[in-house]
Structure 1
Amino acid sequence: MGAKDSLICYADGDVASVLAGRPELDRAATEALVRRLFAGEVVTAAADGTLGEDANPGAGSVFAAVWPGVSIVCTGRVGLDRPSQVSARFLSEGVGRTVYVHAMHSVVDWFAMGIWGPDGELRRALSISGGDEEILEDVGGRLEFEEPFWSGRFPATDEDDDEDYPFPFHPLELSEAALDHLFGFVMEGYSGMTSASRVDPFDVVLAGFRLSATAR
């Protein structure tokens, strides 16, 4: 699997229902959100992108969208080994809403997610790396969609494989399941999918921005 992402989502309700309606992004609200999150840096409008192509932007880029009830910001600054340590400025933006962080990187078989309730309390944080054979963070109760993976229903290796995998599932498989259940889209799919995801991420338009340091 070669998909990568690093995003934070602010939601008033079901994210998938909003994205499935293919709403038009509010450009003024999107730019205002990016400027708030990256205050102190120069924010310049750039070409649009899509959630499928630009969910893992480089250090000097941000892709974002604000729709009624949902906002998504793609930035490498939320892709942390320990999602519970996401900067307070990103979390304070979501006060009164559910906040989701999702990140994955195929090179090290790494996946992380974080979920905060409208009260700002951390509900779930998980970070797991197959490359390092380590669970970097595991906070809060497991979500329903996680259980089949932890129970071994979707093993990372075949029964006749001579090599043992450090976990009862592949982290990127669980990562895709998280995308599906939390946001209604997948990048490449996963074991146990019962139907096509509701949203094609390549149809979800995001506004692009460049970041640069302010002159001193």
Structure 2
Amino acid sequence: MVRDVGERTGILAFGDDIPARLRSRPVADIDRTKEFVEMIHPGYLVEPIGGTALRYATYPPDDVVFASSSADLDIICDRRLTFDNPATLPEHLQRIGSGRRIATLGTHSVVDWLSCAAWSDGVLVRSLTVSPDGGIIENIGEPLPFETPYWAGEHPVVSTGEDPYPLPFHPLDLGQAAQRHLFGFVTEGPSHPDDVPTGEVHLLGFRVTDPTGEEKEKREFMAQMLREILGQPPV
């Protein structure tokens, strides 16, 4: 059951109370935010471009990131920052979040994939990656309270084929619940009165590129392989 292709996210944030910080509509410091992005991607070229509201920032195009760094919160939206095994978050990212809460979320509707994790003061609290084809890829720590009804089968997927959906819930539905818990807002479905006003939270934009060109070459190679698998002509 593939969902709307628009349901994709890649978010990483550092802060003591991330939803509360976002609700306060933080104002990004330009120099601090650029330095933050450079710390996330050491050795990459970082060039400022136009920013956008958080509502539209959660899954930027290739080589583009949206970020905000202020006194109490660092947040970045970047499709690179999605992990099958988020428990093994790169060490330099863990150092950036030292002493604070870290939260990461990735979703991709083409394969009904969800990955989310949270750390508190350097300690992994919860990590989960799941998809219908891959099953439960990573499941570390006790499920958080918002997960309980999903694992209990209270949000089943209505199958349109002969075979039942292989999970007791749709990963993207759980992903929206995780997004609200970790970041205070959703990108699909009804909003709550206390959700972050994502249209009023502005993120700065940056073009972030690998100066060696290796990342782009790898991305193009993988795209060509996918086209061949799907029987599509080369570009």
**For the Cα contact (< 8 Å) 2:27–2:68, is it kept in 1?**
no
Which residue of structure 2 lines up, in the alignment, with residue 204 of structure 1?
Answer: 201
Amino acid at match of 2:90: S
**For the Cα contact (< 8 Å) 1:180–1:197, is it kept in 2?**
no
**For the Cα contact (< 8 Å) 1:46–1:207, is it kept in 2?**
yes
The 4+ residue runs of structure 1 with deviation greater than 3 A are 160-163, 213-216
CA distance in 2, matches of 1:29, 1:99: 18
Which residue of structure 2 lines up, in the alignment, with residue 145 of structure 1?
Answer: 146
Which residue of structure 2 lines up, in the alignment, with residue 3 of structure 1?
Answer: 7
TM-score (norm 2): 0.81
In the TM superposition, what are the counterparts of 1:1-216 in structure 2 within 5 Å? 1=4, 2-12=6-16, 14-118=17-121, 120-130=122-132, 132-157=133-158, 162-189=162-189, 195-196=192-193, 198-214=195-211
Amino acid at match of 1:63: F
**For the Cα contact (< 8 Å) 1:173–1:189, is it kept in 2?**
no
**For the Cα contact (< 8 Å) 2:65–2:78, is it kept in 1?**
yes
CA distance in 1, matches of 2:140, 2:103: 14
Q: Secondary structure at the match of 2:188?
A: coil
Deviations 1:11-48 (A, max 9, x none): 12x22222122222222211111122222111111111
144 and 100 in structure 1: CA distance in 2 versus 1, 3 angstrom threshold: same
% identical equivalent positions: 34
Q: Secondary structure at the match of 1:78?
A: coil
Q: CA deviation at 1:90?
A: 1.4
- Greater Cα offset, 54-63 or 143-152: 54-63
Q: CA deviation at 1:187?
A: 0.4
Q: Secondary structure at the match of 2:125?
A: strand
Amino acid at match of 1:106: S
**For the Cα contact (< 8 Å) 1:78–1:86, is it kept in 2?**
no
**For the Cα contact (< 8 Å) 1:97–1:117, is it kept in 2?**
yes
162 and 212 in structure 1: CA distance in 2 versus 1, 3 angstrom threshold: closer
Deviations 1:39-84 (A, max 9, x none): 2111111111222222112331111001332211112222111112
Q: Secondary structure at the match of 1:31?
A: helix
TM-score (norm 1): 0.88
Deviations 1:120-153 (A, max 9, x none): 12221100112x1511111111001100110011
Q: CA deviation at 1:161?
A: 7.6
Q: CA deviation at 1:162?
A: 5.0
Gaps of 5+ in 2: 214-235
Q: CA deviation at 1:213?
A: 3.2
Which residue of structure 1 lines up, in the alignment, with residue 227 of structure 2?
Answer: none
Amino acid at match of 2:32: A
